[in-house]
Amino acid sequence: MHNGFMADDEIERLLREIDATNASAASPSGGTVEKKAQTPATTGGSTGGRLAFAVVSGVGMGVVAFGAGAFLWLVPFINPSALDMGFGGAMAGFLTGLIAGPPRWFSS
């Protein structure tokens, strides 16, 4: 090492070690490829999980936004409509959940 930097031959040696490690991990049985093939695809034909997650996230965001609107009603000089905030939060949560889709833990 010179002045805190690695020499070119050291970098090349490290890259060869990394390539060898990656090749030896995937080559014996194709373990990484098989793992990817075994995970179920959620974007294929099943949209039930996506729709259920969108409904749950919409209801959750609606309740939270309604609560925030009800709390802000008590604060002077700020008068948001709690129903409007709840509806807006519910729509935002539903659309975000529909577009993003469920996380892995939701469908298991």
- What ranges do the domains of the chain cover? 1-39, 42-108
Q: What confidence score (pLDDT) does residue 53 get? A: 87
Backbone angles phi, psi at 2, to 5 degrees: -120, 120
- Whether residue 42 is predicted with pLDDT greater than 50 in this model: the reply is no
- Is pLDDT larger for residue 25 or for residue 12? 12
Helices (H) and strands (E) in the chain, counts: 5, 0
d(CA 69, CA 56): 20
- Whether 34 shows a pLDDT value over 50: the answer reads no
Among 3-7, 27-31, 73-77, 78-82, which is the least confidently predicted range? 27-31
Which pLDDT does position 45 carry in this prediction? Answer: 47
